[in-house]
Amino acid sequence: MRKKTAQYIREYKWSNIFAMIRNNRLDPKICTESFNNKLVVITGATSGIGYHAARKYAAHGASLLCINRNLQKSEALCREIESEFGVKCDYKIADLSNLQDIHQVADELLNLETPIDVLIHNAGVYLTKKELTPEGIEKVFVVQYLSSFIINYILKEKLKSQERARIIMVNSEGHRFAAWGLRLDDLNWERRRYSGLKSYGSAKLAQLLSMIVFNEHFKDTGVSINAMHPGAVKTETGQENGPVYRWYKRNFIDKTLKSPEISAEALYYLGVSKEVEFVSGKFFNLTTLEEPAPPALDKEVAYELWGKSLELSGLQDSKE
């Protein structure tokens, strides 16, 4: 670990930090192309970024399949989408902190007869205190990272057979909170003091590392996979925490944030625009290409994480 830390320190560049600060002020590029009769799958679509992304795609003619936890909110969302935009909206109920639910919904997506044109991994959670899933894995790591890994892995052959699809992972500049890299020997935070920012950053870093390997799997297949920072926008993330955190978020953090509609604009551009049709394996700040932190570019760790992720999720690596 010390060797990796020293390596990352040497690789950090002030120019990348200044670029991130500049990019944070930019508006997303706008795509006005239609997306009629295409299928878009979105996780966490009943509020925040996912909700506005669903409306954005529906407004341009896409059919939706939303993966959410709450049945009543899912039904209300689909009624709203279908009545307002005249497109088909369906949903599947899954708790993306539960490996059994993740596998089940991934298998259901695998068995769809309809091609998946865009797959958006948006569901997320932020916790100030450590929680474990029923399988004994740290919850933020599962929701923010392992759920997208499992779904991508199970769907990869289906997507490749389609010869065209785009995967977009709602990531974060927060991956920079894991400044010294991913601790594969302590993913459950048993040897370190748990921190909400650090656990969130580690999970987002893991997602970027997985993108390196998925991008190699998808090379020359017509399938792209990219990650994006959604901007400093107001979402429902963090509502699982205690009253003090919720009060602080409502009265201080939220008042500095923008509408998640800008994130939806970026997700539509990345999913539809011909300008990024052949771009893959990249990190965007909204729609601006950006170099992530050095730990997110480490291929050696990416492959170590790949093996660990297969083990944690109960998957067997296929022979490519």
**Enclosing H/E stretch for 310:** helix 299-313
**Per the residue annotation, which of 91, 126, 200, 269 is the catalytic one?**
200
Task: Indicate the DSSP class of residue 29.
Answer: P
| pLDDT at residue 10, rounded to an integer | 87
CA 89 – CA 152 distance, rounded (Å):
22
| pLDDT at residue 18, rounded to an integer | 85
CA 120 – CA 43 distance, rounded (Å):
7
Instruction: Write the CA distances from 280 to 56, 189, 211, 215, integer angstroms.
Output: 22, 32, 9, 7
Task: Indicate the DSSP class of residue 280.
Answer: -
- Annotated active-site residue 200? The verdict is yes
Give the dihedral sign, CA 47/50/53/59. Answer: negative
CA 121 – CA 145 distance, rounded (Å):
9
CA 142 – CA 205 distance, rounded (Å):
13
CA 78 – CA 70 distance, rounded (Å):
12
Task: Indicate the DSSP class of residue 155.
Answer: H
Residue 265, number of CB atoms within 10 A of its CB? 21
Our separate counts of H helices and E strands in the chain read 11, 8
Residue numbers of the chain with a pLDDT score lower than 50 = 233-234, 238-239, 241-242, 244-257, 319-320
67 DSSP β-pair partners: 43, 92
pTM of the model: 0.91
| pLDDT at residue 257, rounded to an integer | 46
| pLDDT at residue 250, rounded to an integer | 47
| pLDDT at residue 23, rounded to an integer | 87
| pLDDT at residue 2, rounded to an integer | 64
| pLDDT at residue 304, rounded to an integer | 97
**Enclosing H/E stretch for 106:** helix 99-110
DSSP string, 33-81: ---TT-EEEEES-SSHHHHHHHHHHHHTT-EEEEEES-HHHHHHHHHHH
Pick the CATH number of 2-310 from 3.90.1150.10, 3.40.80.10, 3.30.420.40, 3.40.50.720: 3.40.50.720
